[in-house]
Amino acid sequence: MNKVISTDGTPIAYDWTGEGPAVILIGGGPTDRSTNAPVADLLAGGFTVYNYDRRGRGESGDTEPYTVERELEDLQALITEAGGSAMVYGTSGGGLLAVRAAAHGLAITKLALWEVPYIIPGTRPAVPADYRDQQFALREQGRYGDMLELFFLKAVLMPEEFVTGMKASPFWEGMGATAPALAYDAELAGDFALPAEQLAALTIPTIVIDGATIPWISAAAEAIATALPSPRRRTLTGQPHNVDPEVIAPVLAEFFAA
């Protein structure tokens, strides 16, 4: 495990593995860098892979107040560490940050996106208008389990009986360690609207990937691809949101190597 220091002094923990062009992996939701570790290992044969804990997650620090700009500075610190430019893979909520970073002008040379959770009107119920405020309020109260429940029920749209089952499982407590960062993802997502103008301005090679198992997520993938000037598009039919690393890694490797 290594650390870089972001502009505001926050230590950002990361692992690196492999040799070759730099690829940075960005996760989302109530996870740390361990979630992307299998993908990192599979890409290491052809790339130098930087897999990091976003601020407030895992072994990275946290400096309040949270701002999206500070998350962009964290990613910039990783890009600098990687040699000044890098290719980026953003998965789920991490894709929100990846798109924002590319639009902000960070030195991202290629961008791969897996099931970024923009909400296209009419494809699903909207996230409550006060979702962001609810998450920050629960965070201040230390109600991390309630943050997870709100995320899964209102943002992910998981059926209530599934969430009840998850709450009874051992990994629910483990997710509590990263649950406070769900407020940060809520800040980043805003109203979850597709940033069509930002996407239209992206000229770097970009691939948009989905698994065709969640209709509203697939609708978002189509909308992202439509908004981009010249996207590449792949569907890994039958893959759940927690995509199999063995399935997606070859797609990423092919795209990054091209």
pLDDT cut 90: percent of the chain above it? 95
Express each pLDDT in 96-117 by its tens digit.
999 999 999 999 999 999 999 9
* Mean pLDDT value across residues 67-73: 97
Let me know how many helices (H) and strands (E) the chain has, helices first: 11, 8
pLDDT one-digit tens code per residue, 203-239: 999 999 999 999 999 999 999 999 999 999 999 999 9
Give the pTM. Answer: 0.96
Q: Domain ranges in the chain?
A: 2-121+192-257, 131-186
Structure tokens at 160: 């209530």
73 in Cβ contact with 7 (< 8 Å): yes
- What is the CATH superfamily name and number for domain 2-121+192-257? Alpha/Beta hydrolase fold, catalytic domain (3.40.50.1820)
